Amino acid sequence: MAISGRKSEDDAGVTEAGQGGLILRPGYLDAGAQRELLAALRDALADAPLFTPTMPRTGKPFSVRMTNLGPLGWVSDRDGGYRYQATHPQTGRLWPPMPEALLRAWDEIGGYAHPPEACLVNWYAPGTRMGLHQDRDEQDFDAPVVSLSLGDAALFRIGGLKRSDPTRSFRLASGDAMALAGASRLAFHGVDRVIAGTSSLLPNGGRINLTLRRVSRSL
């Protein structure tokens, strides 16, 4: 796998984790850019407050709270399952637009010809994790998934195209950017834990992850 950046938390290096195509940009956003993006997110949350998605069929709540930016937003509930829609599930309003910094990151890191249609904003409270999963609710798997981290560092884990494939983990710190592209686009990945006290950006700690996605198949 072609990837540069920090060494893995495991003995093997990050270069051995997951599938080819993973792009890691440590420190992509400097301190000033992180504060500007956070301010833009706070404005967006006034129109699209955080909500707690639930699992299909069981209705079990997710461990993270979330909202969305852009023309489409990802939601999940017991009756409708995983899906994208144009409106907030609680307010019924359209999602706020994506800040320019996110669109720039999509171009600079993802390098995809068509713009992103959704930005998932996941809020990880201290102690929160997310199990291994694939991002496969989109129609266009040629497009990358680009993510930016704000706040406390997370221990990110990535494997292969099967849940049972070997995995490796590494830290994503505040300001880091990453893209799942190419063979890594459908790799199983998750967050083992959020490492408290590793950033002062968020006054109450925790982590925000912004994930940009292209949903529709490009013609």
Rounded to an integer, what distance in angstroms lies between the CA atom of residue 202 and that of residue 137?
30
Predicted local confidence at residue 206, as pLDDT: 97
Question: pLDDT per residue over 82-111, tens digit each?
Answer: 999 999 999 999 999 999 999 999 999 999
Question: pLDDT per residue over 196-208, tens digit each?
Answer: 999 999 999 999 9
Q: Is the pLDDT of residue 10 over 80?
A: no
Rounded to an integer, what distance in angstroms lies between the CA atom of residue 47 and that of residue 42?
9
Give residue 7's pLDDT band: very low, low, confident or very high (50, 70, 90): very low
Give residue 20's pLDDT band: very low, low, confident or very high (50, 70, 90): confident
Question: pLDDT per residue over 172-181, tens digit each?
Answer: 999 999 999 9
pTM of the model: 0.90
Q: Would you kindly state where each structural domain of the chain is located, as residue ranges?
A: 14-47+57-213
Give residue 219's pLDDT band: very low, low, confident or very high (50, 70, 90): low
From residue 39, give the alpha-carbon distance in Å to each of 42, 43, 66, 185.
Answer: 5, 7, 17, 30
Q: What average pLDDT score do residues 63-72 get?
A: 97
Rounded to an integer, what distance in angstroms lies between the CA atom of residue 13 and that of residue 97?
38
Q: What average pLDDT score do residues 61-76 get?
A: 97
CB-based contacts of 39, cutoff 8 Å, min separation 6? none
Between 2.60.120.590, 1.20.140.10, 3.30.70.20, 2.130.10.10, what CATH number should domain 14-47+57-213 receive? 2.60.120.590
Question: pLDDT per residue over 104-114, tens digit each?
Answer: 999 999 999 99
